[in-house]
Each structure stands twice: as structure tokens, then as C-alpha cells.
Structure 1
Amino acid sequence: MSKDIKIRKGLNINLKGEADKTLSKAPRSRTFAIRPQDFHLVTPKMTLKEGAKVQAGDTIFHSKSNEDIKFVSPVSGTLSEIERGAKRVITKITIEGDQQDTYKDFGIINPDSMKPEEIKSHLLSSGCWPFIKQRPYAVVANPQSTPKAIFVSGYSTGPLVADLDFTLKGKENELQAALTALSKLTEGKVHVCIGKSGASPLDGLKDVTIHKISGPHPAGNVGTQIAKIDPVNKGEVVWTVNAQDLVIIGELILTGRFNAERVIALSGSSVKAPKYYTTKIGAEVATFIYDSGLSEDNSRVISGDVLSGTQISPKAHLGFYDNTVTVIPEGDDYEFFGWNKPIFNKISPSRALTFSWMMPKKKYDLNTNTNGEHRAFVVTGNYEEVFPLDIYPLQILKACMVKDLDQMEALGMYEVAPEDFSLTEFICVSKQPHQQIIREGLDLMYKEIG
């Protein structure tokens, strides 16, 4: 039996350029890349050298602090370049892909008859473990820990993000296999949240507790769902897995292959024909961006959504966890008297000279302009209107800025991740980098408390 959850606080950002529900196969990328920065706080240690031949699923590097956590190649080909930055830190590993992938065989398994440690060992050796993240700290999960619960969000509410009901369609067998395996790794429940209206492929699966959720963004964020279902307290750990990553885990279980295939939504007002593409993790985004075409040259490409994604070059590669690529106009122009006139073409939670609250379903063509400059925090009370967690957002941000660990603990730092503050950052009149502040606060706690 499902449990209904209604989120009341939040803000829907309706943008033009939503991806049409049509699926195309992206042209084969010439190169694929893995960026260690996608795996926060993981220090990579290479197991292969430049020029090495790899199959899809071969280990490229592992975590320096835990050799069991392996990161594998998404395709078969040749490891063509190991790019390093300051202090010789590895910033990108590039693989020149073959025309046709060959796969390392990890063997078919039956999670119903396996012990938790055997499932863990299989996920670790195959490179699927990095798909599992943990809270606190929003990092790759520690395989030595046992979570009190595991959470999967099958409901997407962010602006222009991929519709999970569409991208997961027809993948019920893989989803079931992955969820059955994950259910063996916790003494608690596997919580799966889906939209209250709609037909989710996740609905009706066994070994999980289904929650039907409704409300404005960030209702689809897994952090919001954790807070409403089973909040994280000091000393507790929960794991999270992206819904599309379940498909890769499930295919590994059913076929023995690490198939890094991903359905991504190419969206945004700068795209001529926004739609869905089938591609691989780490593929060049240019392969599908230029297939759909851009309506204007001066655009920003974002791997992820507009609130929490990463700005990349059109010639760069898809992020490891991303299932959306958004392209919107670059906001590098100056708006004369923009601060002192009625605003009809922007979204704002304020009613001072703004009118978006009168047209909640209107779609906007926004650019990247911040519409203001960085300044000290202005106390407006607006953060609380869009922040559904039972936490004081302004106070926890200030505690992070002054590095007050006791206050950070007391205010609920263990249950948050940077993405939970993407909306407060969007409406911030002070233009403070909320997500960066939270990330630095979590890193400090990880270093000092562990």
C-alpha cells in the first residue's frame, strides 16, 4: 500500500524548451570521459596507463582511500589521455571509443539467494557501487556501513529535467532486479517515491515501500523525501540511488554486463528541437546538441538542470550522474533600469513590481543573468517559503560560513545536500552561492567529524 506525501513549500520554475516525448539514438561519440570531480572527496588512483585497451566494465581507477570502490570504463576502446591539473590532480580520463562495444562479463546473479556481502562485492567489482550515495555528506557510500534505509526518487520536479516515467518505461525487469538487490543491503526499508498522478514503471514493484508524492519543486528531490519519511540524525546513515542508475545495476544483475546506456533529456529554449536521446555515460554532448540544433549561438550548456547542474563547453562530456543537458541563453547583457520597473518576463516569489505569481502556469524564457550582485545576506524570510525541510535555511548557511560545527550539527546539517538549497539560491536577493556554502560546510564536517 502506498503512502501519500504532499509538499506545500516550494516553487515551480516553468521554463520554455521542455523535451518532447520522442526518443532518438544519439550519434556515436568519438570520445568518452570520466571526471573524478563527479565523485566528491574521492581521490583517484589509476590502475591503467595511457594507451591501454579497455572493455566496457574494465577498472580504470579506484579510490585511494578504499581500493574496493572501483570506477570502470563506460565503453570499450583505448585510454587515450589522463588529464591532470594543479599538483598533478587527475581532472579527466578520456577514452577513444570503438565503433562497437565489447563488454567484460561479470556473470549473472540471483540476488534473492545471495547474502548482503556477496551483493556488495559484486557491485564493487563491477563498478556499480559509485551509483550509491550516502547521507550525511552526499558522497559515494561507504561499503563498510549499513544504512537504516535506502531512498530512490522516481519523481522529477526540477525545471526542464528528464521525465522519469518516460525514461524508465519498459525497464521494469531491470528496476526490480536492482531494488531486490538493494533491499538486501539495509535492515530497514527501500523507499521509492513516485508522482501521485501518472503511471510510473516503479509502481507495483516488490521489496520496496512506495510513496506517492505531490507538490511544487523540490518535491522530487530525494532530500525532501528523506526529510518527510525518515530524517537522518547524528550517527545514522541512509543511501540514495538515482532512478536511472537502477537500470544499469539491474542490467548488470540480469546480463552480467556493465552497460552505461543512459536516456537523457536535451532541453532548453536555445534548442531548436528539444527531445530525448539514448547515449552513454561520459559521451560528448555535442553529438546530440548539434543533432537537434541551436536557435542561438550565445548559449550556455549545462550538464544537469539549471538549478544545480554544471556549466560545460559544448565539446565537453556528459556528467556521470546527469540525465539532463540544458541549453539556455547566456545572460551577459545589461538591462537598463532593470531594478526599477515592473517585471513581466521573470519568475519571482516576491510581489514587489513582479507578476509571475498571477500566472503560475506561464512558461518563461530565462537566461543566466543573476539580476543583481553579490552582497551581504538580506533577511527577507523568502527562503522559508520555498524550503520544505524542517530546518532554518538562513541560520544553517551562516553556521557554515563561520565554520561553527556545533551549530551546524544542531541545525540539521546531517540530512542536507547542496541541491536542497538550489531554490533558496535561485531566489536569493543577496546572490549568495548557497550550494557552494553547504558543500564547503559538509566537507568541513567530513574532515573534522568523519
Structure 2
Amino acid sequence: MNNFKRPAGLSLLLLAAVSLQSQSSMSGGNLVFYGLAALALLIFFYIVVSVADNFMVIESKQMGLDDENRAGLFPDFRQMFASKKPGYLKEAHVYTLTKGYDIPMDGEPQETIRDAKVTRFAISPPDFFGLRPIPKLLVEEGDVVKAGDPVFFDKQLSRIKFAAPVSGEVISVTRGLKRSISEIVILADKEQESRSYELPAAGASREELVEFLLESGAWPCIRQRPYNLVANPDVVPRDIFVSTFDTSPVGPNLNLTVRGRMDVFQAGVNVLRRLTPGLVYLGLDGRGESDSPFAAVSGAEKRYFRGAHPAGNVGVQIHHIHPCGVGENTVWTLGVEEVLLLGELFQHGRYDTTRLVAISGGSFSDPSYVRTRAGANIGELIAGQTLEPNSRIISGDVLSGIQKSEEGFLGFFDNQVTAIPEGNEAEVFGWLLPLKPRASISPTIPVLSDNIHITTNSHGEKRAFVVNNDYEQVMPMDIYLTQLMKSIIVNDLESMEGLGIYELVPEDVALAEFACVSKQPLQQILRQGHDTMIAQG
């Protein structure tokens, strides 16, 4: 009930009591009157206390207190019955997210690491949102390059050079529709050689540091929000955010990525500190019994997150720590691999895109990890795996990744290759009688296992928007997603801005797309909205 309507209801209750008192000739009339009056006073007192409690909770949230330390007059029963937090979180700044969903999917990679024998690598302009489809090429077939040598640049962003991920010979330039450039493929040398760099002095200014990163080819690893564009070198970010854990379905364990390389990661964080007058935030995993290895990093603000996916998304972490926007609220983001790339550049003077890639999903015979470099050929990357027939290979996770063939290449920002069966077989009354176990946020479909053999079947088709609270169940962000998507479809720029389009990128709505009963392509719609906002300036 609306709080503003309650006083009127109380007045009616008191008038009814007075009427009963005046009309009653029975000796019990006074008892009825005093009983109703007391009930009205109790309700009024409860409303006042509830409003005060709500204001205290809102103020605590604005102060950045986590759910456990948030002030309030009434106890939170979810906290009373929640599992006890481990000791390392006692003095930490923790955000406990109550919304989200972990898809119970099989094919989680085991902690077995091998070196992949990949001979072909590619850098793909479509991996970098906001670039024109036909950038200016600096190489041609037959040219020999070193890791870090510039390969192309965008005609609008001529200062930003995109570098070769490995050393070797350029063997092909693959083109797509309207002669857009899809991939520049390099046949890698057996012994990798990096371009040599003259590192800036320890006391170099921020402007000198930016110019070095632009010239080195390392700049494109920094992304800017809103829109998740390649960072604009003329913009000074308010803050820089790095998520150090991945909660996507059967996603990689990023703790393995920095095993034995924490000094390199620390060097990368030191570089980031010099690029912003604000803070460098690390989003740490607070779900385990032991502390994250990233907790040892100095010079960064650490925030722990507990909860289901998408708690590991950097966009969700930004939303809870300090929301981003345009102008002075522009922020930059990086992944763990990108921070390591910067650390290798400044600590060892080499351009090194080495990364640990999770081979995951129920279609692989032995989900595990392989060590390779950015842009690796997927067929060579998964060599030695037995792939289930009629499977889909995805560069990235099942929610926000891109479908690839075995002749395709790993995305520049991806550290996971997933394979799941195509769900294109007919199911008799499959929608009415769910005879096979399936993942669903609906309590009407019981989930009896944590390792469901997920397929690509969406169990439905696109239809008109059904307004329900499914998005709110899985999105731990204070955003009205249904209204935002509708405003994008009708091109209402003012509503798009007011409803929070600046805070979202496609991966942030991927889980909502999975839960959508209308089967709406939310990631595609959001990207369409970004294109519109960018075009409008």
C-alpha cells in the first residue's frame, strides 16, 4: 500500500470507531472503540518506524556500506539465516548480491594446464566496438611482423594503433560484407620475438605515459564506459575498474591466470594508477573460504562481491561501487589479462598477449586449460579434445560469446572456448512436458542436478514483450530493464538516458536474455541503443 494513502485509511478507521461508539447502546461499545483506536495507533506507529527504517537503509547504501553493516531499525531475516562469512571478510568492504542466477551447466574445466601448439593467430577489428568496418591497414600479405608491431588503425582514431599479437608472417586478410575486414591472420614464428621498446622514465607525466601506450599498441586493451568503446586518449577517467573473478557459466578460474605472475599484475596496476586522478578498484571474489590472491595487490581499492552470476561482471561492480555515466563520470575497465599485458610491457619491455584459456562445456571430452596467446586459431587450440557431434563452438561463454567454427579465431578479450550441443532436435511436447532436465529460473521446473547437459535450444521463439519480474530476479542492478528495452525499440533518447543505458553493456543483460520468456534479443537491442546514442553525440 502506498504510504501516502495510509493516513486517509487511518482517518476512516477512526471515524468508523467514533460512529460505532455513538451508535452503540451496548455496554461493550466502549471496548470496541478503544480496541479500534489502539489498532489504528499501532498501525500509525508501524508506518512511522518503517519509513524511518527505509530512510536509514537508503542512507547507508549511499554511504557505501555493505548489506551486513547496513543500518536499519529492523533485522534483515535473509541476513539472520544466511551462511556465515569467512574470516577474511570480517574487516573487508563486502557487497552481498541477492539477485542473479548460476546456470547449472556441465563441462567445468579441471585445473589441468597444457601448452597449446597453435601456429595461426589473428587480430579482428570487430572485437573492438566502435571502430569503422574498414580500418586503415598498415600491413599486407607476405609482410613479416613482430609482436607489438602496428597492424592497422581506425580512420577516426588514427592515434590508436592495433598491434600484432604474435611475431610471424601475415598470410591472409579476410574480408566480410562490403569488403569489411574480418581478420588479419599471422603464421606465428616458432620462437616468438617482441618489438623493442624504450620505456618512459619513472617520473614521466601522464601525457607521456599515454603517448607511449598509444605508440606501443597496448592502448586498445583499455575500454571505456559508457558503451565499452576503446578508451579515448583525450579523456581522463574518473576511476578505473578491474574484475578479478569470473562468474559466467563454467567460466575460467582467474586465480590460475596470475599464478606465478603476481609481480607482473602489480606492475600493471601501478601503470593504471598513473592514468587516473581517481581510484583503481579491484573487484574480488568473496564467495570462497580462502582469500583471493589479488588481495595482496597494493595501490588499489579492494571490494569483495558475494552472490550468483553476474556478480563477477565489472559492470555490476561499477554499479554498486560508483556508477558511471558521461562527462566527468566516464570510467575505464580492463580484464586480468589486459592488466598483465601492461605489466609485461613495463616490467620486461615486451608485448606479450599470453593468456590461460578455459576449454569448457559439455561437448568437450576433457574440459581443462591451455596456455596460448590472444587470437589463437580455435581448431588448433582444442586439438586433442573429442568434440561431441553436432555441437556449437563459442568464443567466450554461452551467454555473451560469439559462435565460431574450428577455422575461426579466439576473440581478443576472450579467455574461454565453450562447446555445447546444438538443440535442434525435435522434442515431443517438449514445452509442455519437460522430460529432460533444463536450467530455468522458474520454480515450476525443478533443477535436480548441478551438471545439466545444456544445449542451444531456447525452448521458445521471439514474441511480444511479456511484462513480469524475471529481469529483476536475475539483474542485481537498480535498472528498469523492460522499460529501457522498449525505449530503445521506439528510439526514445531521453528515456534511454534516464533509464540507465550508460551503465549497461551487452554482457550485463545476457543473463536477463537467458531468463526472458519473450525470447527478446536483449544484447542486440542494447547495442542498437548504443549505436543510436553514439550517432546522436
Shift of 1:85: 2.3
User: In the alignment, residue 156 of structure 1 is paired with which amino acid?
Assistant: D
Mapping 1:116-131, distance limit 5 Å: 116-131=206-221
- Cα deviation, 1:203-247, whole Å, max 9, x if unaligned, reads 121110011111010000001000000001342200000112111
Aligned counterpart for 1:181 among listed residues 260, 271, 277: 271
User: In the alignment, residue 147 of structure 2 is paired with which amino acid?
Assistant: A
SS at match of 1:207: coil
Contact 2:136 2:155 in 1 (8 A): yes
Q: Which residue of 1 aligns with 2:241?
A: 151
Q: Which residue of 1 aligns with 2:94?
A: 4
Q: Which residue of 2 aligns with 1:244?
A: 337
Structure with greater Cα Rg? 2
Q: Which residue of 2 aligns with 1:272?
A: 365
1:67 correspondence with 2:158: yes
Shift of 1:114: 2.5
1:301 correspondence with 2:393: yes
Q: Which residue of 2 aligns with 1:338?
A: 430
Q: Which residue of 1 aligns with 2:503?
A: 415
The alignment covers a number of residue pairs equal to 442
State how far apart, in whole Å, the 2-side matches of 1:2 and 1:375 are: 45
**Higher share of residues assigned helix:** 2
State how far apart, in whole Å, the 1-side matches of 2:128 and 2:266 are: 26
| Higher relative contact order structure (alpha carbons within 8 Å, sequence separation ≥ 6) | 1
State how far apart, in whole Å, the 2-side matches of 1:41 and 1:273 are: 37
- Cα deviation, 1:330-368, whole Å, max 9, x if unaligned, reads 11111110111245511111123x102xx5x62211100
Q: Which residue of 2 aligns with 1:31?
A: 120
User: In the alignment, residue 206 of structure 1 is paired with which amino acid?
Assistant: S
Aligned counterpart for 1:254 among listed residues 328, 343, 347: 347
User: In the alignment, residue 97 of structure 1 is paired with which amino acid?
Assistant: A
Shift of 1:195: 0.7
SS at match of 2:384: helix
Contact 1:33 1:317 in 2 (8 A): yes
SS at match of 1:337: coil
State how far apart, in whole Å, the 1-side matches of 2:396 and 2:219 are: 21
% identical aligned pairs: 42
User: In the alignment, residue 370 of structure 2 is paired with which amino acid?
Assistant: Y
TM-score (normalizing by structure 1) = 0.95
Q: Which residue of 2 aligns with 1:404?
A: 492
1:435 correspondence with 2:523: yes
Shift of 1:292: 2.6
Q: Which residue of 2 aligns with 1:281?
A: 374
Contact 1:344 1:355 in 2 (8 A): no
Contact 2:106 2:450 in 1 (8 A): no
- Cα deviation, 1:386-407, whole Å, max 9, x if unaligned, reads 1111110101111111111000
User: In the alignment, residue 194 of structure 1 is paired with which amino acid?
Assistant: L
1:132 correspondence with 2:225: no
Contact 1:2 1:209 in 2 (8 A): no
Shift of 1:11: 0.4
**Which one is further off, 46-55 or 406-415?**
46-55
1:56 correspondence with 2:150: no
Q: RMSD of the alignment, in Å?
A: 1.4
Q: Which residue of 2 aligns with 1:93?
A: 184
- Cα deviation, 1:130-151, whole Å, max 9, x if unaligned, reads 1110111111110100111100
1:373 correspondence with 2:466: no
SS at match of 2:382: helix
State how far apart, in whole Å, the 2-side matches of 1:121 and 1:292 are: 43
Q: Extract structure 1 runs of 4+ deviating beyond 3 A.
A: 107-111
List gaps (5 residues or longer) in structure 1: none
- Cα deviation, 1:116-168, whole Å, max 9, x if unaligned, reads 11221221111111111011111111010011110000021110111111222
State how far apart, in whole Å, the 2-side matches of 1:234 and 1:82 are: 36
SS at match of 1:21: coil
Q: Which residue of 1 aligns with 2:402?
A: 310
User: In the alignment, residue 153 of structure 1 is paired with which amino acid?
Assistant: S
Contact 1:170 1:201 in 2 (8 A): no
**Higher share of residues assigned strand:** 1
Contact 1:82 1:92 in 2 (8 A): yes
SS at match of 2:111: strand
Aligned counterpart for 2:483 among listed residues 395, 403, 412: 395
User: In the alignment, residue 340 of structure 1 is paired with which amino acid?
Assistant: L
**Which one is further off, 139-148 or 99-108?**
99-108
**Which one is further off, 361-370 or 402-411?**
361-370
State how far apart, in whole Å, the 2-side matches of 1:85 and 1:267 are: 29
Contact 1:33 1:283 in 2 (8 A): yes
- Cα deviation, 1:76-133, whole Å, max 9, x if unaligned, reads 111111122233221111112222211111134565x222112212211111111110
1:206 correspondence with 2:294: no
**Which one is further off, 305-314 or 42-51?**
42-51
TM-score (normalizing by structure 2) = 0.80
SS at match of 1:292: coil
State how far apart, in whole Å, the 2-side matches of 1:19 and 1:199 are: 21
Contact 1:422 1:435 in 2 (8 A): yes
Q: Which residue of 1 aligns with 2:26?
A: none
User: In the alignment, residue 170 of structure 2 is paired with which amino acid?
Assistant: L
State how far apart, in whole Å, the 2-side matches of 1:445 and 1:216 are: 31
State how far apart, in whole Å, the 2-side matches of 1:50 and 1:228 are: 47
- Cα deviation, 1:31-70, whole Å, max 9, x if unaligned, reads 2111110011112211122211111111000121121111
Contact 1:2 1:211 in 2 (8 A): yes
Contact 2:271 2:342 in 1 (8 A): no
SS at match of 1:134: strand
- Cα deviation, 1:287-321, whole Å, max 9, x if unaligned, reads 23122322x12111000000000000012111100
State how far apart, in whole Å, the 2-side matches of 1:40 and 1:233 are: 18
Shift of 1:173: 0.9
Q: Which residue of 1 aligns with 2:35?
A: none
